[in-house]
Amino acid sequence: MKKSALSILAIFLFSLISAAGAAEFKVGVVDLNKVMEQSPQAQEISNALKKEFQARDQDLIAKAKQLKQLEDKLTRDAAVMSTEEAKRLENDIRSRRRQLTTNRTEFREDANLRRNEAVNRLLRKVGEVVSQIGEEEQVDVILTDGVAYFNKRVDLTAKVLQRLEELAKTSK
């Protein structure tokens, strides 16, 4: 599927070039992965998510430790416990394990949802910046994903990162 899409894109680009004739055709490339890793907004998102979910993560770790302690106690003391005590402890362990599994699942879902929301907002902002740079540089086509090779002279990634840094400074 990707190969056919790239083939269609290549054919489209070549047809544009030939249709343009003698006119200059400018192509630009943006390394979206690099932008998403190195932009100040991406770092801000990462820090904000860590801060937002740190307390819940620590709580899950503490509950897992408590569960492990109860499991160790059951293993260690089962022989000296009454049958009723052992059953009660087994039921408590089972209940805590289920609750911990549920809490971990909710935590992952909430964290993924928040991360996706933040990344989508950043992608929209990056799209705006890429469009602005494309207009300013009078670029006909800007490619992002699926580019196997590109020459450094058509790489607009540094300009996009610089603009995002400027936006980050002005938004503070």
Question: 46 pLDDT exceeds 70?
Answer: yes
Residue 65 within a domain = yes
The answer to the question of residue 164 being in a domain is yes
pLDDT band at 156 (very low <50, low <70, confident <90, very high): confident
Q: What mean pLDDT do residues 130-154 have?
A: 83
Element (H, E) at 143: strand 141-143
Q: Containing domain of residue 107, as a range? A: 2-7+18-170
In angstroms and rounded to an integer, the radius of gyration of the C-alpha atoms of the chain is 27
Q: Is residue 12 part of a domain?
A: no
Gap between the Cα atoms of 1 and 14, Å rounded: 20
Domain membership of residue 46 (yes or no) is yes
Residue 84 burial (10 A CB sphere; 0-12, 13-18, 19+): exposed
51 belongs to a structural domain: yes
Q: Crossing angle, helix 40-77 and helix 157-170, to 10 degrees? A: 80
Dihedral sign, Cα of residue 60, residue 66, residue 69, residue 71: negative
- The per-residue pLDDT for 23 is 63
Most confident of the following: 1-5, 19-23, 87-91? 87-91
| pLDDT > 90 fraction of the chain, expressed in percent and rounded | 56
Q: Specify the CATH number for the domain of residue 57.
A: 3.30.910.20
Residue 17: pLDDT over 60: no
Region 69-78: mean pLDDT is 92
Model pTM score? 0.70
Assigned token pair, 99 = 């609750």
Structural domains of the chain, count? 1
pLDDT at position 22: 44
Give percent of the chain with pLDDT exceeding 70: 85
Maximum alpha-carbon separation in the chain:
92
Sequence length of the chain is 172
Does 13 map to a domain?
no
pLDDT at 16: 54
C-alpha span between 155 and 162 (Å, rounded): 13
Total Cβ atoms within 10 A of residue 29: 20
Q: Are strands 27-29 and 141-143 parallel, antiparallel or unpaired?
A: parallel
For 64, residues 6+ apart whose C-beta sits below 8 A from its C-beta are 100
Q: What is the DSSP letter of 155?
A: B
The answer to the question of residue 32 being in a domain is yes
Q: Is residue 140 part of a domain?
A: yes
Bridge-partner residues for 141, per DSSP?
27
